[in-house]
Structure 1
Amino acid sequence: MAYPIVRNRRLRNSAALRSLVRETNLEVNDFIAPIFVTEGEGIKEEITSMPGVYHWSLDTMEQELAEIVDLGIQAVLLFGVPDHKDPLGTSAYDDNGIVQRATRKIKSLYPEIVVIADTCLCQFTDHGHCGVVHTTECGAEIGNDDSLELLTKTAVSQAKAGADIIAPSNMMDGFVTAIRQGLDEAGFENTPIMSYSVKYSSAYYGPFREAAHSSPQFGDRKTYQMDPANAREALREAQSDVEEGADFLMVKPGLAYLDVVRMLRDRYSLPIVVYNVSAEYSMVKAAALQGWINEKEIVLETLTGMKRAGGDLIITYHAKDAARWLQGR
């Protein structure tokens, strides 16, 4: 049947009717809020390229946590900014490292918060790469299997500190297998792995690298992060992680890769996580500061789109603002 019998506008006649037939609902418990914790005391330092996002020291972090809890956000993604870096990123797997101490503090203050620990080496190495660097006749390369050993040590140390979920973001081949085995052997067989399964070598990470102090000191990450032009490769990466025991699959970045989110949603039953990354956030903030856009409407539309594409959870720097808007605050 067609017009005039079919009139699709009938279901748009009022706000109540539109709400009744709404297919995708964005909720506060969809959000994961990133937190950047740094060494030092009395630190609350705004990240220049990410207005409204801060570096926190352990003694000031409670301000951020209290706000997150008050807004009903149930999970945080924890990034550590250490004061010591070396070629092997030893502070990443130091049981007294910044992420480990921050995790213990968060769980002591708010045990109900789900602490997700980013598991990588790039913030902790002096070269800024996500693995061990080897020098060869052809130049520097990132070793895969020896990097897995250090990443596994990091994951186990984070779990010992109380992390509820381990989120490896390094994109080394076999990282889920290695970390799953290491966690199981250490008695953390019930600790889930939120795998950065599909992580592109993206220009959208620029502001994050300022926030995490993790820019590579040479070369780039194209040998281990994915080519933005590839989608079928994303399915291979995700399939590997499913077979290796991942509990969540992530697509990063989100906005330019919603087709990939949908591909994973259609193929896999695991929870799908979308990372609404730093440049996606910063572009909205910059345009809003100029008065060019309605920030609230743009943010909620974008996050709804990520959910509509198939995301179950969204990591977003907009988490607090979006929670306030959804609650009418």
Structure 2
Amino acid sequence: MQTASHSPDVKFTGKSAVPSRIHVNLGEDTPDVYSFFEKVTSTWTYVVADPVSKEAAVIDPVLDYDHSSGKISTETADGILAFIHKECLTLRYILETHAHADHLTAAQHYKQSFGCAVPVCIGSRIKQVQQTFAPIYDVEPSLLDNAFDIYFRDDERFKLGDMLCKILHLPGHTPDHLGYVFGRVVFTGDSIFMPDVGSARADFPGGNVKDLYNSMQRLLSLPFDYLLFVGHDYPPERAIEDVVTVEEQRRRNKHVKAGTDEAAFTAFRSARDAQLGAPKLLHPSLQVNIRAGKLPPADAEGRVFFKVPVKTAVAL
């Protein structure tokens, strides 16, 4: 795999975001983790840093999008970029866990802010997701060619500073879904949530409830002291949380704790998913996220539009 080139000495003059949580001194070969919670979409974005080399990666960055007005801004991303600069970190990778359906990725803004020197990375099965959704939104196939810079294979490894990261394929929520394992920390995306939230839906095209069960079991089979950093948090009656140990998940996960059989989980998750509506930002998210954060091409007047499929049995 090719490594990212050096980022230029970019200056960010905006106000630095304050991490919602900071996790340092987590152990040998384990990075420092700075967690940023985006309230509108309940998304965790992580800045992962090698404390020695100061090389860093950002995981699942969020682009601000107001659905009612159609306004896009980079306020959230700019705050994190300013934080990276303030901490004297060198951004090496932009890592996506999957093609999100509930928020737009800010990957291209991060990439452009560093002179396009930082690669946008995702699992190789994103091509399956692209093939599913491109016809729905009438996306030209040529716009998907090499949309991402790096396509990770299952169990592939890469280095961030002197630390090694392993790719963990975690399908179910989406077929392209993966986790990033650095030392004893795992960034799980939407493959598992905090114990009192449980699990993500598995009813999107290409999703599979049995695959989701198996992916959660794969996470629960990791060493008990491993730390699982989740992609979202929807706290019922508590403060937001970003991380939990494998041991805690095995004891308390409300959907798949240790001993939960596949049939019981499949029945519950399928019934629950059948009651859920589509995410508010489903259509704009997918049109942007299958192209690594690129907006649809502008028309002759420079206007950008998202497409919304309409289903009707009535001729109007």
Q: TM-score, normalised by structure 2?
A: 0.33
- Greater percentage in helix: 1
Larger radius of gyration: 1
